[in-house]
Amino acid sequence: MSSFLEGRVLPLADRMDGAIKKISAVVIYLTTGILLVALTLNVIFRYILPGGGLNWLNELPEHFFPWMIAAGVILAAQHNAHIAVDFVIQSLPARAARVLAISIQVLLAITYLIFAKVALNVSEIVSVEYSSLLHISRSYAYYALVFLAVGVFLTSLSFILRICLFGLQGLPEPNAEESIV
């Protein structure tokens, strides 16, 4: 069983994780770039143009910020960077710690699967709402939450496999520099 998981399933999980990381990184590059340029231009225009800044530029964060956040949450999950109070799991014997870590990932997978379904439902409800200047449907921003939930769900599945095979050592080491406090 273990050799099947390691030989067949793990390479698939590696490919899936690689794809999730790449997609999330591209979303972060794009949204950060767009928002940085839009907000900088708006500050400049406010002092140059007689009527102040361009209002439609102010609307861009409503559409792009949720995607930047969603990609950040997924990438943080992939890097195991979400902050936890982990002295209990660290003080448990290896076997108990492994069971607890798997249980946490199962709980997260179930939670975010339900979350994805609810977020999709809300996205459909708000599809009739449009932003006032760019006339973009509100549901596009809500899809970011569906993206977030699916990304975290898939990451949890991958982590379950890694913990089963290698224990807690199978998870990525959190990077202190990515903390914000």
Q: Which is nearer to other proteins, 128 or 176 (CB)?
A: 176
> In the structure encoding, which two tokens stand for residue 81, read together?
């960077």
How far, in Å, CA of 31 to CA of 70, rounded? 11
- Inter-residue contact 48 to 74 (CB < 8 Å): no
Q: Which is nearer to other proteins, 29 or 166 (CB)?
A: 29
Q: Which is nearer to other proteins, 75 or 164 (CB)?
A: 75
Q: Site for other proteins (CB under 8 A): which residue of 74, 109, 154, 160?
A: 74
In the chain, count of helices (H) and strands (E)? 6, 0
**Which 98-127 positions form the footprint of other proteins (CB under 8 A)?**
100-101, 103-104, 107-108, 111, 114-115, 118-119, 121-122, 125
Q: Please report whether residue 61 would count as binding other proteins according to CB under 8 A.
A: yes
Q: Note the residue count of the chain.
A: 181
- Inter-residue contact 139 to 126 (CB < 8 Å): yes
Question: Phi/psi at 49 (nearest 5 deg)?
Answer: -75, 145
Q: Site for other proteins (CB under 8 A): which residue of 85, 93, 95, 128?
A: 85
- Inter-residue contact 152 to 74 (CB < 8 Å): yes
**Which 122-181 positions form the footprint of other proteins (CB under 8 A)?**
122, 125, 141-142, 144-145, 175-181
Q: Which is nearer to other proteins, 10 or 106 (CB)?
A: 106
Q: How far is CA 2 from the centre of its chain?
A: 29
Q: Computed over its alpha carbons, how large is the radius of gyration of the chain? A: 20
Q: Please report whether residue 69 would count as binding other proteins according to CB under 8 A.
A: yes
Interface positions with other proteins (CB under 8 A): 24-25, 28-29, 32, 35-36, 39-40, 42-43, 58, 61-62, 65-66, 68-77, 79, 81-89, 100-101, 103-104, 107-108, 111, 114-115, 118-119, 121-122, 125, 141-142, 144-145, 175-181
